[in-house]
Structure 1
């Protein structure tokens, strides 16, 4: 048995156990950084918590919940943006032996109420008055919800009695409880077993009510040990965490952090990422593809704004980056040596001074690697960043598999794949190409939905992911599409929309979102949403200054611009894959309109319903299947 296997197999029953071990091992080491307002409304400052300081708050929250009557496996919901209090509250729930129900703060009152009721949550930890209001207006439908704990009490009205208390009050209550029962939290942790429920995460389905995914305590302790075994992170790293913690991708990062003991800088404000990176100077960051797409588009737009010469230099450097990355990866794969021909290395060195070094500086200057997950990253964008020295390691997993099932192995990563399975995770490809997974990270099932569970989880533990993929001879997995998203034209040809969409995103620096349509049609079309800052910058230089976004999108010059990119990618596609017609959307797709999940994945049926008129217009007069 290898050391990795031994570590994984001898894991403790829960992350709560790991947390107590971490605090005991490195009490005075920095654990967290988080932003706080500057004095007198001045510039924000970053504050630190050591593991011992974090533990003091975590134990107080855990004891406060125990004092409120929360018992093992009972649910405590958290509705908040990513912030230090979310992590401490979650650890408090786990150290009380209870289970966390996650709710996105963008979830509307109706769905928030459904999740609280379906999960049977006893306590809701709400970020602010707005999150409290969602529960208050449906309080009569939530008889099991005995308390709401508010993190930021500003603007919270009186009149709820002891039903509402602040997080500070909960911690004070817990501290008083620990004075009388100093071993209460340790006893609660000692009582946790591996199969107990730890987390209920509700999937943001494209239709109908979301399903609660039941993840046991053991899933998270397994993930912590498996992530550590990859060697991608070490105790000296600084990880920047902005991902939504209500999503399994963000949640799994907190488990790995506890096992490894490095620093996490926490700030969930997406609009602060660019400002924070030079300040935090992370060595490691996880993100979704949309973030890398926006950075790429922003760099291209800045180069274009600098004039024709600068833009030509950028385009040349982008081409060199892709060629360098592809060549070095292919050579490493063939011989173990990533070296490239002298001429290419010389061009790369010049491009590095002119372009790449500035990109790395924008990421803080110390970034060793990024992990990308939640959706597919267009390979051409991945190769660009790889060649520029921003190494993006794609990974793969689902809510039902505790997020991290595959990840690319450090320096040996292969752009366009999601890497190899984590130790302890098994994979096989079904006859129809579907990816099946088995291992400790797999869910127990869907909460209260045994029939739905049976549809995807076989009695011997194999989970049907619904994704199509292929394994290389040496174990690298390539995702080709969602099983349900493969489309078949009326001519009988199968098409992967994601493949065509990825190519378009890599080719067109103005695109924000694109949806390829063609199921049961005799040709493919596309709905295209443009990135507002990028296209507005272009518009100002093309006789469209002063016009609004919708006007710019509707302008003939804009259509002509995008048509050029459509023509370019069509040249590299099979005939039946080509985009014959397209429409530019009058606005971008958003989470608020329900067209994107909180992790920024397209909800195809929602988009198709919302813009049905534009789709019908493109197929008007065409022969249907």
Structure 2
């Protein structure tokens, strides 16, 4: 399937078509000078577009004084903050290539990135100086510290240390800022996105200005940008989704970005900012659903209170009828309309989602029960599909046609097809230039005709709607040669009970499937408090009979929705927590199956041995 030809320019201000991010930034800053641009959530800090533009110019001049220019790389190690946007945009104005580092990275991981990027400058918070010092960075010459310059060390390893305030005063007299940013080319590499390394060492995805401006253009085609909107930045800035759908999005729309330095506060920030677009991984939606269900249950138990759970059940039934393209009875329509007016509309406003135009879940499949829940509340949650290699975009649902279980139709200007083995292939102007310093892997990923091999097994129906089955390398092939998707099984488990925070299904080359189950820490605290435990950690409650019974019931529910070969014969509740950027999870909470299989190999063997007795 394909769509109409598009251009790679975006109108960032009335009548101004831009082909690079600096050009878009300058047009937007001129058009919205006095309007809010950067808002630090939880702090008394807000920058207008004019102030943002001044800071970018000063930092660009300072970076130029350190020798940064076209093609040079600049590392950034900072939480979501106004400073990230300023530094990143300043590097872009020099035709340089900024990239972010996950904040939990170990010295050997940073060493790998520095070796691949060959950056001479890293901009970081003071708290990261120690981990940078313990990293190997032969090309590193300068460390720019974002914090105040009181008592800063003079060097970190062989690199000179200076503060951001100092950097902003160093613009060379001969530096021509306007000529420099005007000379940025659509073909210049705008960023490196390092893949999360679920199947090996990270690869540096090179995305050009042309790639990213095309993404903005095609987004505007399918989801026209509102004149007045708002964005939220809370996902790691090393992740393509945060850069594309907050940093670059605001650059072309002029929307203020609310930066959230502590991701656990994201929904408090949403309630304050009322974003126009919001993206979250499935775990975000699972946790919000669990919290809301607990609130609804409490509200429904109060005397004379509205039966919120009953209203949600009715609205969910309506969603399922709509999804099956069945007629919705008039009395059900009336009941849902009444619930929306009396309950759901107020809830959406309270949550901060009352003006959201694009509400998306991605990075991994979302359980249908979770998806249906938010649709029942009148929230237009949709699945989408994108990769770092495609500028975080590829397929989306349509706001007026959201289909549970499908990642949608190809974006305008994107082509898609299936390889003979069912692997999904993409082609379009958003496909990366390649992997940095790795022509072999680039050639493996993109063929001579420009088709990107996604690594995902998918189906495409007659209307062009795409469904992702699973990662090609993660399909379980059991001892009898039967193929199955572990992600599908895990989704059934997690949606069966909010107590289950994470699950990993094992069954490759085995006679049947077993599972490792991790209790959600928030649900654990609620359970522990209700059952009189002083210690509210998951480890304290894993042997509680009521918890075991709840997980047993969840496994039974999941199995009832699975074919016989997919069903879970045995499981183990772990007393661990799986945290982002750990042996078990990537920074964006994707499962590291190899890491799990290695860490829990003895436990897995024990489960199989016990279940065969």
Return the TM-score normalized by structure 1: 0.90
Note closer, same or farther for the CA distance 1:350–1:515 as it changes in structure 2 (3 Å cut).
Answer: farther
1:520 paired residue among 489, 509, 519:
509
Question: Equivalent residue of 1:163, what SS?
Answer: strand
- Indicate conservation of the 8 Å contact 1:113/1:134, yes or no: no
Distance 2:442 2:229 in 1: 38
1:23 corresponds to 2:12: no
Distance 2:403 2:99 in 1: 35
- Corresponding residue for 2:269? 276
Aligned-pair distance for 1:326?
A: 2.8
Distance 2:153 2:536 in 1: 46
Aligned-pair distance for 1:66?
A: 1.0
1:363 corresponds to 2:351: yes
Aligned-pair distance for 1:211?
A: 1.4
1:557 corresponds to 2:546: yes
Note closer, same or farther for the CA distance 1:155–1:109 as it changes in structure 2 (3 Å cut).
Answer: farther
Question: Equivalent residue of 1:277, what SS?
Answer: helix
Please give the per-residue CA displacement for 1:158-191, whole angstroms capped at 9, x wherever unaligned: 23298111112111223xx3xx347x22212222
- Indicate conservation of the 8 Å contact 2:10/2:216, yes or no: no
1:598 corresponds to 2:598: no
- Indicate conservation of the 8 Å contact 2:521/2:537, yes or no: no
Please give the per-residue CA displacement for 1:394-452, whole angstroms capped at 9, x wherever unaligned: 21111111111122222222222222222222111111111111112111221112222
Distance 1:397 1:23 in 2: 29
Of residues 82-91 and 129-138 in structure 1, the stretch that sits farther from structure 2 once superposed is 129-138
Distance 1:482 1:302 in 2: 36
- Corresponding residue for 1:238? 230
Of residues 496-505 and 158-167 in structure 1, the stretch that sits farther from structure 2 once superposed is 158-167
Aligned-pair distance for 1:136?
A: 2.1
- Corresponding residue for 1:40? none
User: 5+ residue gaps in structure 2?
Assistant: 12-16
Aligned-pair distance for 1:84?
A: 1.3
Note closer, same or farther for the CA distance 1:609–1:283 as it changes in structure 2 (3 Å cut).
Answer: same
- Corresponding residue for 2:401? 412
1:79 corresponds to 2:77: yes
Distance 1:384 1:221 in 2: 34
2:573 paired residue among 584, 601, 623:
584
Of residues 12-21 and 70-79 in structure 1, the stretch that sits farther from structure 2 once superposed is 12-21
Please give the per-residue CA displacement for 1:354-396, whole angstroms capped at 9, x wherever unaligned: 7534642442252424122221111221111011012112211
Distance 2:526 2:336 in 1: 29
- Indicate conservation of the 8 Å contact 1:235/1:260, yes or no: yes
- Indicate conservation of the 8 Å contact 1:13/1:192, yes or no: no
Compute the RMSD of aligned alpha carbons. Answer: 2.7
- Corresponding residue for 1:505? 494
1:325 paired residue among 319, 326, 332:
319
Aligned-pair distance for 1:591?
A: 2.2
Distance 2:567 2:509 in 1: 15
Note closer, same or farther for the CA distance 1:163–1:36 as it changes in structure 2 (3 Å cut).
Answer: farther
- Indicate conservation of the 8 Å contact 1:216/1:444, yes or no: yes
Aligned-pair distance for 1:623?
A: 7.4
Distance 1:115 1:601 in 2: 20
- Indicate conservation of the 8 Å contact 2:7/2:217, yes or no: no
Number of aligned residues: 601
- Corresponding residue for 2:121? 123
Distance 1:283 1:49 in 2: 19
- Corresponding residue for 2:335? 347
Aligned-pair distance for 1:117?
A: 1.9
1:424 corresponds to 2:413: yes
1:609 corresponds to 2:607: no
Aligned-pair distance for 1:101?
A: 2.2
Note closer, same or farther for the CA distance 1:313–1:616 as it changes in structure 2 (3 Å cut).
Answer: farther
- Corresponding residue for 2:293? 300
Aligned-pair distance for 1:157?
A: 3.8
1:376 corresponds to 2:369: no
Please give the per-residue CA displacement for 1:479-511, whole angstroms capped at 9, x wherever unaligned: 111111111111222111111111222221211
- Indicate conservation of the 8 Å contact 1:14/1:221, yes or no: yes
Distance 1:362 1:514 in 2: 31
Distance 2:189 2:270 in 1: 36
1:146 paired residue among 121, 128, 141:
141
- Corresponding residue for 2:40? 34
Question: Equivalent residue of 1:91, what SS?
Answer: helix
Distance 2:388 2:58 in 1: 29
- Indicate conservation of the 8 Å contact 1:33/1:49, yes or no: yes
Return the TM-score normalized by structure 2: 0.91
- Corresponding residue for 1:56? 54
Question: Equivalent residue of 2:147, what SS?
Answer: coil
Aligned pairs for 1:149-228 (under 5 A) are: 149-153=144-148, 157-160=152-155, 163-174=160-171, 177=172, 180-181=173-174, 184-228=176-220
Aligned-pair distance for 1:314?
A: 5.1
Distance 1:567 1:545 in 2: 30
- Corresponding residue for 2:257? 264
Aligned-pair distance for 1:264?
A: 2.0
User: 5+ residue gaps in structure 1?
Assistant: 38-44
Note closer, same or farther for the CA distance 1:478–1:234 as it changes in structure 2 (3 Å cut).
Answer: same
1:14 paired residue among 20, 23, 27:
20
- Indicate conservation of the 8 Å contact 1:213/1:446, yes or no: yes
Of residues 190-199 and 519-528 in structure 1, the stretch that sits farther from structure 2 once superposed is 190-199
- Indicate conservation of the 8 Å contact 1:301/1:509, yes or no: no
Distance 2:10 2:126 in 1: 44
Please give the per-residue CA displacement for 1:503-548, whole angstroms capped at 9, x wherever unaligned: 2222212111111111111111111111122133123334545565
- Indicate conservation of the 8 Å contact 1:241/1:265, yes or no: yes
Question: Equivalent residue of 2:154, what SS?
Answer: coil
- Indicate conservation of the 8 Å contact 2:519/2:538, yes or no: no
- Indicate conservation of the 8 Å contact 2:236/2:242, yes or no: yes
- Indicate conservation of the 8 Å contact 2:397/2:403, yes or no: yes
Say which structure is richer in helix.
1
